[in-house]
Amino acid sequence: MAFRILLADDHEVVRRGLCAILQNKSEWEVCGEAKDGIDAVEKAKRLKPDVVIIDIGMPNLNGLDATRRIVDALPQTKVLVLTLYESDDMIRQVLNAGARGFLLKSDAVRDLVAAVEALRRSGTYFTSKVAEMVRDGYLKRNTEPALLASKRTRLTFRERQLVQLLAEGKSTRQAALALGMSVKTAETHRSNVMRKLQLHSISELVLYAVRNRIVQIAQAQN
């Protein structure tokens, strides 16, 4: 089965360029294109792609709000945000919106395929600056309560396994199958993890897993 990608950018020439880059991977398919944020959300819901590549500066509905809606509606779809520049505030907003990847447009020719491949395989891809901020806990005050890292040892082995699978993009049902447990048991473990760590979303869970080395960050090479 082809790995399906939805492109969302208000400039047709940019979409054409991204398509040209992605077409180098024969097993990947650009299943649709969107010209604004609303269009991106609607097409994501209809096409159910594996990855949405979305520009942050979109008309009608910006890329951040579109990302939130896509992640809420399609938790199995990973979002890679493209932007012209990176700032601390921008990085916080992108991660809090639930995106699994962050790539500068200036690096797209060099790093787009690697970014999409990272999302396909491990679930995350950040620029080196974002990776450094996440590892250093810079986002802690915005995404997790104080002393969260100290609670890492409170997770059981099974819970840590589940955290890894969920952070890598697996659904609860898929994680249950991989761990040889019932969906109900996996849901109970997931609820316990979220309660223990005081997390409220999968994006927070991903950040926790990255900072605590449960999953690895794939990042751009300078």
CATH number at residue 170: 1.10.10.10
126 and 177 together in one domain: no
Measuring CA to CA, how many Å separate 95 from each of 25, 146, 202? 27, 18, 11
CA dihedral of 59, 88, 168, 108, whole degrees rounded to 10: 60
CATH label of the domain that carries residue 77: 3.40.50.2300
pLDDT digits (tens, 9 = 90+) for 140-190: 544 444 444 444 447 787 888 898 888 878 888 988 998 999 999 999 999
120 and 184 together in one domain: no
149 and 116 together in one domain: no
Domain-ending residue, one of 90, 120, 137: 137
Exposure of 150 by Cβ count < 10 A (0-12 exposed, 13-18 middle, 19+ buried)?
exposed
Of 130, 100, 134, the closest CA to residue 115 belongs to 100
The separation between CA 196 and the C-alpha centre of its own chain, rounded to angstroms, equals: 23
Residues 214 and 167: beta-carbon distance below 8 Å: yes
**216 is a domain residue:** no
Of 93, 117, 94, the closest CA to residue 5 belongs to 117
36 and 123 together in one domain: yes
**203 is a domain residue:** no
Domain-ending residue, one of 97, 121, 137: 137
64 and 87 together in one domain: yes
**64 is a domain residue:** yes
Residues 38 and 8: beta-carbon distance below 8 Å: no
More confident residue, 29 or 124: 29
Structure tokens at 218: 């794939």
**218 is a domain residue:** no
72 and 170 together in one domain: no
Structure tokens at 26: 């024969």
Band (134; pLDDT cuts 50, 70, 90):
low
41 and 88 together in one domain: yes
Range of the domain at 100: 3-137
**164 is a domain residue:** yes
Q: Can you state the angle between helices 157-167 and 172-179, rounded to 10 degrees? A: 130
Exposure of 90 by Cβ count < 10 A (0-12 exposed, 13-18 middle, 19+ buried)?
middle
**38 is a domain residue:** yes
Structure tokens at 192: 């316990």
Band (205; pLDDT cuts 50, 70, 90):
confident
CA dihedral of 203, 204, 208, 211, whole degrees rounded to 10: 70
pLDDT digits (tens, 9 = 90+) for 37-92: 999 999 999 999 999 999 998 888 889 889 999 999 998 899 999 988 777 777 77
Domain count, the chain: 2
Predicted TM-score (pTM) of this structure:
0.68
**205 is a domain residue:** no
152 and 181 together in one domain: yes
Q: What is the mean pLDDT of the chain?
A: 83
124 and 155 together in one domain: no
89 and 164 together in one domain: no
